[in-house]
Structure 1
Amino acid sequence: MNVPLLLGAGLAAGVVNAIAGGGSLITFPALLAAGLPPVAANVTNSIAVCPGYLASVAGSWRDLPGRVAWGLVPAALAGTAAGCALLLLGPESTFEGVVPFLVLGASLALLVPKKESRTAHPAVTHALVAGISVYGGYFGAALGVMMIAGLSFALAEPLRRISALKNVTSLVSGLTTAVVFGLFAPVDWLAVAVVAPAAIVGGFAGAKAARRIPARILRAAIVGFGVLVSGWLFLR
């Protein structure tokens, strides 16, 4: 096992997840390069990056609209559980075929002008979070990109608050996958022990950086990264 490779990937993924999402596209290929089969790499990756989400929440706590965050927890939990069931019980090829289109669409959605004074009905917000969380439970790469796009569409909040909410829903999704995959999937726990601590450090540092980046620059960075992620998914 290439420990330096996994340490570096975990650190970078934690930073990227906190700022824009998509850190799994760093750790997942690194786990494949370390010799894990695709399914084992996928479930190992989901558990390994989970602690980084906790650090991201801690780092963005001051920007978090608490009432909204607590309301989104059940939707994120239910959607992620459904996605995990799809991965473990259903065919993988059909869902993977639409993943690049989902990531690209979510990224470009951030370019659509939005009036900050309007907020969608709570049911719409919950449905969006649940639907995106299904994807998070199934594969999870660029989950943060998609979640930011969905929350930006539904909520009249500054982007730094949207990013903080994204960290909470990502944490819920990560904890759910950790429990389900830890019990029922072929997790490489040694790889988790290497990647997870690095993801914690990177997640906390990334969340602090996100608070200092102007909204326009942060939005452009998220869109650009999301387009790159979708391109990688189309080609892999």
Structure 2
Amino acid sequence: MTWWEALLVLAAGIGAGTINTVVGSGTLITFPVLLAFGLPPVTANVSNTIGLVPGSLSGAIGYRRELAGQGGRLRRLGTASLLGGLLGAWLLIRLPGSAFKAIVPVLILLALVLVVLQPRVARAMAARRRDGAATGTGPVLLLGVFLTGIYGGYFGAAQGVLLIAILGMLLDDGMQRLNAAKNVLALTVNGVAAVFFLFSSHIDWTAVLLIAAGSVLGGQIGAKVGRRLAPPVLRGVIVAIGLVAVVRLLIA
């Protein structure tokens, strides 16, 4: 990796760490960059997942005030995230690389749709909270978090968007507290997947270290100033980069 490629990967890590803390689709920044520099898709995904773990931890620490009083909730939901993330990581390693190349463009497009629809989802969540339509930590919520964990362990782009939608629809709580919980659950998924990959997959450690360094800084930026970013601009950047990743996978 040349010095300018390393700088771009580091910058992508900063952007991903920021976006993951605020929204939850940072993989759509780093994954296309790793593909562009010649990493095979599965290696790029594995290296990206490991590299983003420190950024997820950084973002969770940045939201520590909003985590107060959520210990019991996070233990229950965290178990579902852990099991789902482990299953998703296992599927990534067990399924052939050709399956990943075929499935991931569809997952990226799904993630982009979710990013675009996020404002409507946020309005729907607010309306449900006003109407008192929350079901607590019941089976539906646990199943939703578990399935999102599978998705996150396998690929992970926009798993944060999925999580915040599920939590917002089914829990009666403020958006910032839900976002804090989302960061912890995403950290759980990425963390267990990363540990699994350490013992079962090829890893590009240069990419891991660059993304890790960038995402740690980005996590703090997201927690402190990321809320001030103009949402339409942020979504536009994510969608543009995600489309680049889809094209890159389809022509590879």
Give the TM-score band, short-chain normalised: 0.7 to 0.9
Matches within 5 A, 1:56-135: 56-64=59-67, 65-90=70-95, 91-93=99-101, 95-96=103-104, 98-100=106-108, 102-104=110-112, 106-107=114-115, 108=117, 111-112=120-121, 113=124, 114-116=127-129, 117-122=132-137, 123-135=139-151
2:6 equivalent to 1:3: yes
Contact 1:10/1:195, CA 8 A, preserved across alignment? yes
Is 1:168 matched with 2:197? Answer: no
TM-score, normalised via structure 1 length = 0.87
- Which moves more between the two structures, 110-119 or 163-172? 110-119
Q: Kindly tell me: are residues 31 and 232 of structure 1, through their superposed partners in 2, closer, same or farther at Cα, counting changes over 3 Å?
A: closer
**Which AA in structure 1 matches 2:12?**
A
8 Å Cα contact 2:51/2:209 also seen in 1: yes
Local SS of the residue matching 1:129: helix
Q: What is the Cα-based RMSD across aligned positions, in Å?
A: 2.5
Within 1, Cα distance between the matches of 2:244 and 2:36?
Answer: 16
Cα distance between partner residues in 1 of 2:218 and 2:30: 12
Q: CA deviation at 1:208?
A: 2.0
Measured in 1, the distance between the counterparts of 2:171 and 2:103 equals: 28
Question: Which has more radius of gyration?
Answer: 2
TM-score normalised by L of structure 2: 0.82
Q: Which runs of 5 or more structure 1 residues have no equivalent in the other structure?
A: none
Give the whole-Å Cα distance in 2 for the aligned partners of 1:195 and 1:93: 22
Which range moves more in the overlay, 114-123 or 93-102?
93-102
Aligned equivalents of 1:198, 1:143: Cα separation in 2: 20
Matching of residues 140-159 of structure 1 within 5 Å: 140-159=156-175
Q: Is the 2:31–2:245 Cα contact (8 Å) retained in structure 1?
A: no
Distance 1:222 1:67 in 2: 33
Shift of 1:92: 2.3
| Alpha carbons 1:100, 1:234 under 8 Å: kept | yes
Q: Distance in 2 between matches of 1:207 and 1:127?
A: 28
Give the equivalent residue in structure 1 for 2:206: 190
Give unpaired runs (5+ residues) of structure 2.
none
Indicate the residue corresponding to 2:153 in structure 1. Answer: 137
